[in-house]
Structure 1
Amino acid sequence: MSAGMSGERKAVLVVGGASGLGAATVRALAAAGHDVTFTYRSSPERAEALAAELARAHGEGRFQARRLDLSDRAAVEVFCETAEGEGYYGYVHNAGQSADALAAMLDQDRAEAAMQVNFWSLTRIAKALVRGMIRARAGRIVAIGSVAALQANAGNAAYAATKGALIAYCRTLAIESAKRGVTVNVIAPGFIDTEMMAPYASHRAGIERQIPLGRFAAPEEVAAVAAFLMGEGGAYVTGAVLPVDGGLTAMMGIHRS
């Protein structure tokens, strides 16, 4: 299956692609015919195994893993200097560092650390890549947000703020770059069945009862939306925030006993 109308393979960068939703996104993009570079923070064995798996499954493609700690601003700068010249057609930003605390008890240091990973790194990498996309008059940026930025949830103030900033930035970048053929969109997942949800295992049944579809998402269901936005079908979608949440944000959330 070709990545574009002329059959050429297109290079896509997935930040945070070694496990969970990121790995599902890498697999979906590879299956759609893209060459994929993905970053990992602390699991080189898992990342290299994924790259090898993709090479076996899609022999004609190019797949590579690169280490990148989004919390390290200097490392992000060095990464961007390299990435800027590589001509990426697509960029998926998948990062989610939590900083749980009540809004009135917000710790600024912890909140700033989450903001660096979830938001500032996105802006820096987008700045590096969007120039090439604008020159090519073609590009796709997809950021993974969260329904937490759309609906308030107690204890999520800092995390929601990082994802809210991400949405505001992406919508602005979308209108600034649209005339140059670049689309920018945000996917806002609800609860996804990944390792990140492990701390909530004891609450899972109760959470699922509150989701209209009655279950967590499979990572592949969210990854499919990223692949759609990266493909030909998503060409006229830009500046959008797409909840993939089983109906969670559509619901008022008041429970009758």
Structure 2
Amino acid sequence: MGYPVLVTGGTGGIGSAIVRRLSADGYQVTFTWRRDEAAAAALAAETGAEAHRLDLADRAAVATFAETLQAAEEPFYGFVHNAGATHDALAATLDVERAAAVMEVNLFAFMGLVKGVVRGMTAARQGRIVAIGALAATRAAAGNGAYAASKAALEAYVRTLMTEVARRGVTANVVAPGWVETAMAGEVPPQLARAIPAQRLGKAAEVANAVAFLLRGEASYVNGTTLTVDGGLGTMLAATK
């Protein structure tokens, strides 16, 4: 049996790709899900992973789950925070309560679950923490303020987390996808795909591949960084400013 790894948001497009890849790599995967019980059951049956229902917007439920993680007999080797929420609105019409809910899922739930796994990792002197960020954290798009702010805060937290755990053999990194073919991305105009240097949208499996690399022993010297998986879009935008 491989190292235990926790993945949040396991039934989404990127999340299910991560669960499949890490399970295939031999990890003992536990994933969380919130709404789609049928999809969670099917993914668990397909991969052998363990499914756990958890609403990451519920801070009390996250804290309780973190306590169970901390009490586990075998410490978790990996934690991948993939679950995410969004609220698209211009500043003049932004619903602050909905923006707060985005921050709860994207950032605060991650912080809470880190509490549940980090002591076991540092005690074992090995561990891999990966947060799924977004290109939006560093590239502006109108109406994307709440989501972008949550992902930028996520990156800042991961960098600080790294300074606390690196000496104990634990890494903390961010994988930041650009436009990826998922239900969350919705319909993407063809002209957008043509604007990407790779001339296409990314695939969920390509994001999962980046996560898999960061969990490997060969990535032990990669720490506190953001690995962008965007087909070159972010670099091109920066070069044309």
TM-score under structure 2 length normalisation: 0.95
Does residue 52 of the first structure (1) align with residue 70 of the second (2)?
A: no
Tell me what 1:235 maps to: 220
- Quick one: which of 60, 71, 76 aligns to 1:85? 71
1:252 is paired with a residue of what secondary structure?
Answer: helix
C-alpha distance in structure 2 between counterparts of 1:11 and 1:174, whole Å: 20
Q: Counterparts of 1:169 and 1:149 in 2: how far apart (Å)?
A: 13
Q: Kindly provide the amino acid, as one letter, of the partner of residue 46 in structure 1.
A: A
Whether 1:117 aligns to 2:102 is no
Instruction: Confirm whether residue 137 of structure 1 aligns to residue 125 of structure 2.
Output: yes
Instruction: Confirm or deny: 8 A CA contact 1:103 1:158 kept in the other structure.
Output: no
Which letter maps to 1:77?
A
User: What amino acid maps onto 2:159 in structure 1?
Assistant: R
Counterpart CA distance in 1 for 2:30 and 2:116 is: 15
The one-letter amino acid of 1:80's match is A
**2:230 maps to 1:245:** yes
Match of 2:183 among 172, 179, 195: 195
Q: Secondary structure at the match of 1:196?
A: coil
Cα shift at 1:74: 1.4
Q: Distance in 1 between the 2:238 and 2:70 partners?
A: 44
Residue of structure 2 in register with 1:173 after alignment: 161
Superposition RMSD in Å: 1.4
Alignment of 1:2-151 (within 5 A): 9-55=2-48, 63-86=49-72, 87-151=75-139
Match of residue 198 from structure 2: 213
Q: Check conservation: 1:99, 1:114, Cα contact below 8 A.
A: yes
Flag structure 1 segments of 5+ consecutive residues without an equivalent.
Answer: 1-7, 56-62
Q: State the secondary structure of the residue aligned to 1:224.
A: helix
- The equivalent residue for 1:3 is none
Residue by residue over 1:139-167, the C-alpha shift from the partner in whole angstroms, topping out at 9 and shown as x without a partner, is 00000000000111111111000000000
Task: Return the alpha-carbon distance in structure 2 between the equivalents of residues 138 and 252 of structure 1.
Answer: 37
Aligned residues: 238
Looking at structure 2, the residues matched to 252 and 188 of structure 1 have their Cα atoms a distance apart, in angstroms, of 15
Q: Give per-residue Cα distances to partners, 1:109-161, cap 9 Å, x unaligned.
A: 11111000110000010111101101111100000000000111111111000
Q: Distance in 2 between matches of 1:254 and 1:124?
A: 37
Counterpart of 2:30 in structure 1: which amino acid? T
Structure 2 contact 172–224 (Cα < 8 Å) conserved: yes
Q: Tell me: CA distance 1:183–1:105, structure 2 relative to 1, closer, same or farther (3 Å).
A: same
Report the Cα distance in structure 1 between the residues aligned to 2:46 and 2:88, rounded to whole angstroms. 35
Q: TM-score, normalized by length of structure 1?
A: 0.89
* Structure 2: runs of 5 or more not aligned: none
Q: Name the CA distance, whole Å, in 1 between partners of 2:79 and 2:85.
A: 19
Asked if the contact 1:103–1:157 (Cα under 8 Å) also holds between the matched residues in 2, the reply is yes
Residue 210 of structure 1: CA displacement? Answer: 1.4
